[in-house]
Amino acid sequence: MAMFEWKDEYSVNIREIDDQHKQLVAMINELHEAMMQQRGQDVLGGLLNNLVSYCNNHFAAEESLMESHGYPDYATHKAKHQKMTAKVLELQNDLKSGKRNITIEVSQFLKDWLDKHILGTDKKYAAYLNSKGVV
């Protein structure tokens, strides 16, 4: 059973970004499903690799849109992206070094990303970009 289902409230009304956010929801659900089957550690390495790639591609897409349309809070938003990317890399390094079981921490990080970043921070740029005709 999925932990999250895509809802209209997650939409920023920009197709490219919504499609990318749906990928994040799929990653959250993949980890949750694995955890429910006691396989969280088995999928975590691949998921974190995918998440690093996702950060690079997704954040670049968002930042390009914000910058090209003169989003006034661009620098602050970009700094949040950098912080999130650093956290993903930290989690990946923790897993590689075998320091701790981080499956639950990764799951919580992803849930917070959806709840706080997409529903909070991203909604702010979305309104601005939508007003500039970006859909």
3-class DSSP state of 122: helix
How distant is the alpha carbon of residue 40 from its chain centre? 19
Fold that domain 16-32+44-131 belongs to in CATH: Four Helix Bundle (Hemerythrin (Met), subunit A) (1.20.120)
Residue range 37-62: mean pLDDT, rounded: 93
The identity of residue 92, as a single letter, is Q
Please compute Rg for the chain using Cα positions.
15
Instruction: Flag whether the pTM goes above 0.85.
Output: yes
Residue 52 in tokens:
């690093």
Each residue's pLDDT tens digit, 17-47: 999 999 999 999 998 899 899 888 889 899 9
N residues, the chain: 135
What are the structural domain ranges in the chain? 16-32+44-131
pLDDT at 39: 87
Q: Within a 10 A sphere around the Cβ of 15, how many other Cβ atoms? A: 11
Residue 67 in tokens:
């910058």
Each residue's pLDDT tens digit, 66-119: 999 999 999 999 999 999 999 999 999 998 898 767 888 888 888 888 888 898
Helix ranges (H only) for 1-132 are: 15-36, 40-68, 74-97, 103-112, 123-131
pLDDT > 90? residue 49: yes
Query: What distance in Å separates the CA atoms of residue 125 and residue 135, rounded to the nearest whole number?
Result: 12
pLDDT > 70? residue 1: no
pLDDT at 85: 95
- Residue 2: pLDDT band (50, 70, 90) is confident
